[in-house]
Each structure stands twice: as structure tokens, then as C-alpha cells.
Structure 1
Amino acid sequence: MKHLIPVALLAACATASHAAPVYLETPVTYAPNAGVVDKVKEECKIEDMFVREASPFFSKANGGEATIAADADPKASRVRVQITHVLGVGGGAWSGPKSMSIEASLVENGKVTRTTKLTRSTTGGAFGGFKGTCTILERSAKALGKDVVGWVANPKAAASDAAEAEPKAQ
């Protein structure tokens, strides 16, 4: 009897650690009417940047692989990301704050099961005035990657984060 509790805990941990992986679908694309300055789109390659910055979070959550090609195994769970808006022009921090907005859809067994919209803004952090636009936008991409993985694990995470970010009426 005294071994029953540790065995039950071990079984629960083993089950949790063997949850089906959820991959980041590649390529990440732009939404049809995405608002992105052409110069930033060309120089920063935002879609590749997002994959590069988000992959470590997916890899950690999956215990290995992070990405899956769009035409790979249709039964594999994946997150499909579309970039919907990027606020930023050349000139680094001197041209104002930068932000990135995405729409993330969880696809399971070939069907979209849920969708969320996320936005992250930054002024570049410490020494932001010495960073270029692409480097500053990498901060938003990294934060969004972490947000998406958190949303996959907890669907209420994105909703509660968005609610907390809204200004309070005075």
C-alpha cells in the first residue's frame, strides 16, 4: 500500500511527459491582407524570423522536434501561424515602437480546433536605441513563440493575457 502513491505519481508523470507533440507548421505565411512595410518584409524576412525564434519553445515542449512541413503527416498536431500585421519601419528604435501580430490555429487530425490572435510590442529593451528594426522585431517574434506554446498547453492563457493587457477604464 505504501508503494501505491509513488507508483501512481510516476504513472501520472509518465503520461504527461508522453503527450502528443504539437509542431510549428512551416512555412509561416502572411495573412492575405497583412499590413507589413515592404522594406521590413524583405530585409527582416519576418516569416523565417518567427520560425527561428519560436522553434526553441516548441522543441522544449515536445522534447525534440519543433517544426513540421505543411504537407507532412496530416494527422500530426500542429500550429499554423499567419502574420497579420507588423508595425515597424526602418530606423530602429528611433522610428518608434515595433510590434508583430499573428493568428495561430491549432490543427489536429487535419482540422482547425481553435484559433487565437496575439500581439507583442517592444521598443527594443536595453540599448534599444542602438538596435536595428529587425533585431527589435526578433524580441516580439520570440515572445510570440513563447505565447503560442503556452496557448497550446492552456487555451485560456491567451485570453487571460489579452484581458490583463487591456487598459482599465478610469
Structure 2
Amino acid sequence: MKKLFVIGMLTYGASTLAAGNTLLETPVTYHPDAGVVESVKNECHIEDMLARRVGPVLAKLNKTGDGTIATGTKTAGADLLRLQITHVLGVGGGAWSGPKAITVTADLLDEHGKVTRHTKINRWSMGGMWGGFKGTCSILDRSAVAIGKDLGRWVHDPAFQIAEEPAPKETETAAGDHAAPAKDE
């Protein structure tokens, strides 16, 4: 009888822990119309970069696991964070070729797969201190870190609104779209 009671309590405890958790669905995907330079996409693996930066933030909030779950896997009562890359501003050349940015949409799905919240987030960087000595991928990684922090707060606090971060002035076009700075040919 004691064994059944202990097993029941452990099962209840495990399901209770999962119920308040949020897991990042992996792999992170690109929107079909995502604007991204193919060489940057292939070299930087931005989808993996986001998983490495957002997953641990969720794991810390959950106080268990790695914060990620493979697409199609049962969530055991946890909510699901689904990211989709919609735009990447950046060409090779590191900071010398202008700012780098990542834009994603985030959907928070409940345990039944229903979208409960949606947001768009854009974060950019010039590379910070010593930016001139950093490559494109490491500068984009700075944006992924900022996205991870913002999404951690957004997941944890339903009242938190992610502020739109405008593109640097030299990268805005007349329509307000993000474009890479013109290169001299």
C-alpha cells in the first residue's frame, strides 16, 4: 500500500510540475516568406542559435529539463512556445557591413494546441564593445540572447508587452522595411 501511495504522489508531482512549464518547440522554423541572405542562413544556423538561447531561459523558469521539446512530442501538460523566423537583417562582413537583426513571431500554445498569446519581436545589434572585430554570426547571436531574455519575461508574465525595437536609421527604407545598407560596387 505504501508503494502505491508513493508512486501516486510521484506521478502527481511530475504532472503538477509539467503543468506550469513552457517548452520551446524545436526545431525553430523559418516563415516561408522569411527574408534572409542564404549564406548567412547556412553559416549561422539562426534556428539553432535561437533554440540554444531561448531553451535555457525556459529551463530556468521551469526549474527542470532543457526547456525544449521536439515537434510532435506530447507536452505532458506543458505549454508550448513556437517560434518562427520572419526576417534576418545581415550580410557577411561583421559590423563593417552594418547592423544585424533577427525578427521572430512567437505563439504560446496551451496543452491542447490552442494559441493563447502571440507576439512579434525584433532585436538588432551592431556588435557591442569590439563589434568591429566580431563576425556576422556572433553579432546575430547577441540578438538571439536578447530575444531569449524578452521571451522568458513574456512567457512568465502575461501582462508583459514586448516593445518593438525599431531598425537603425541607416537601414530603414521609405516603406519602413528593414534593408541592408547599400554596398558600393
TM-score, normalised by the number of residues in structure 2: 0.75
Structure 2 residue aligned with 1:96? 98
Identity percentage of aligned residues = 53
**What RMSD over aligned residues (CA atoms) do the two structures have, in Å?**
1.7
Assess if the C-alpha contact under 8 Å between 2:61 and 2:156 holds in 1.
no
User: Is 2:122 aligned against 1:119?
Assistant: yes
Q: Structure 1 CA distance, aligned partners of 2:56 and 2:103?
A: 20
Q: Name the structure where helix makes up a greater proportion of residues.
A: 1
Q: Structure 1 CA distance, aligned partners of 2:55 and 2:161?
A: 19
The SS at the match of 1:89 is coil
1:105 paired residue among 104, 107, 127: 107
- Paired amino acid for 1:54: V
Assess if the C-alpha contact under 8 Å between 2:25 and 2:69 holds in 1.
yes
Q: Which stretches in structure 2 are left out of the alignment for 5+ residues?
A: 1-15, 167-185
1:87 paired residue among 86, 89, 95: 89
Deviation by residue 1:25-81 (Cα, 9 ceiling, x = unmatched): 101000110000000000001000110122221111010221011111154311000
Q: 1:112, CA displacement in angstroms?
A: 1.0
Assess if the C-alpha contact under 8 Å between 2:54 and 2:147 holds in 1.
yes
Q: Structure 1 CA distance, aligned partners of 2:137 and 2:161?
A: 25
Q: Structure 2 CA distance, aligned partners of 1:36 and 1:135?
A: 16
The SS at the match of 2:161 is helix
Q: 1:158, CA displacement in angstroms?
A: 2.6
Structure 2 residue aligned with 1:73? 74
**Deviation larger for 70-79 or 46-55:** 70-79
Assess if the C-alpha contact under 8 Å between 1:118 and 1:158 holds in 2.
no
TM-score, normalised by the number of residues in structure 1: 0.81
Give matches, 1:1-170, under 5 Å: 20-65=20-65, 66-73=67-74, 75-108=77-110, 109-159=112-162, 161-162=163-164, 165=165
- Paired amino acid for 1:51: A
Q: Which stretches in structure 1 are left out of the alignment for 5+ residues?
A: 1-16
- Paired amino acid for 2:42: E
**Deviation larger for 56-65 or 126-135:** 56-65
